Amino acid sequence: MEETIQEKKGIDMAKLKKTGAVVLPSIFTIANMAFGFFSILLASDGKFVKASWFIIISYVMDMLDGRVARLVHGESSFGVEIDSLSDWISFGIAPAYLIHKLVLKDYGVWGYPVAFLYVLCGALRLARYNVRSHFGGSSKDYFEGLPIPGAAGWLVSFVLAYSMLEGEGGMRNIPIIMNQMPFAYAALPFVMVILALLMVSAAPYAAFKGDMIKANSMKGILLITAVLSMIVAYPQDVLFLLFTVYAASGIVAGIYMAAKGVFGSKKA
């Protein structure tokens, strides 16, 4: 009888630990969703810089939930689904609404399909990722297509960098980047379409997990220290530069792989 009670207690404790392991990362996921939703409210009031920073905070929450889930072994199908819903709000709907209120509204009715295309491609990107995650088809080293946080990161970092031209969001800037902001503003509808198409493309993007960069190695420590130092010194400009380089990296890698395949087949 005592053994049965002990076994029951052991099973209950195991269930409790498993529930805690699932709930803990979900707290960060919900925080991601909350900051994305609050960003929409701020953008509706015309507070574009604050709305952008809230999406950046969502970005941090999104990075933490996955790491916490792996740390406590709390990965689950439920976690994958709610994480994607949160990402769609924070990195799909929120930045599209922000950019429409700031820029696309000036294009009248033509701004609507551009904003919707971004939201639609973001949803398709997340759906494709979920399917592959459930069936074990995703890579630890590369994403297929631009991740939706990367696309949102470019839009949000643009808003933060551009705001400095109007005397908002800080005074420290890198002149060579600031000089490009008016051109980026003018090209924004086209860039938004490109970002949308990159999300549903097959272009390879670094996942920064697995064995690509080890944070405990000297190379990883130096790289992380250098990036953080640059962000602290010039936060808006460096974020814009990093997201621009990341978005372009998939295009360059895709062209390289396509050229390698063509020339490789000719040699064969």
Higher pLDDT, 83 or 223: 83
**Which range (64-68, 147-151, 189-193, 226-230) has the least confidence?**
64-68
The pLDDT of 36-59, averaged and rounded, is 95
Q: From residue 250, how far is each of 204, 241, 263 by CA, in Å?
A: 5, 15, 20
Higher pLDDT, 65 or 220: 65
The pLDDT-based confidence of 13 (bands split at 50, 70, 90) is very low
For residue 267, is pLDDT > 70? Answer: no
For residue 14, is pLDDT > 50? Answer: no
d(CA 160, CA 168): 8
Query: Contact 88/58 with Cβ under 8 angstroms?
Result: no
The pLDDT value recorded for residue 42 is 97
Higher pLDDT, 197 or 11: 197
Higher pLDDT, 230 or 154: 154
The pLDDT value recorded for residue 9 is 47
The percent of residues in the chain predicted with pLDDT above 90, rounded, is: 46
Angle at 150 between CA 244 and CA 71, to 5 degrees: 135
For residue 248, is pLDDT > 70? Answer: yes
The average confidence (pLDDT) of the chain is 82
For residue 77, is pLDDT > 80? Answer: no
d(CA 43, CA 168): 15
- pTM here is 0.83
Q: DSSP strand E in 96-179: where?
A: 142-144
The percent of residues in the chain predicted with pLDDT above 70, rounded, is: 77
The pLDDT value recorded for residue 207 is 81
Higher pLDDT, 195 or 173: 195
The pLDDT value recorded for residue 3 is 55
For residue 64, is pLDDT > 90? Answer: no
Higher pLDDT, 167 or 64: 64
User: 72-81, 166-175, 223-232 — which one is most confidently predicted on average?
Assistant: 223-232
d(CA 96, CA 119): 7
Nearest to 203 by CA among 258, 260, 259: 258
The pLDDT of 150-166, averaged and rounded, is 90
Nearest to 39 by CA among 109, 124, 96: 96
Secondary structure element (H or E) that encloses residue 206, with its range:
strand 204-206
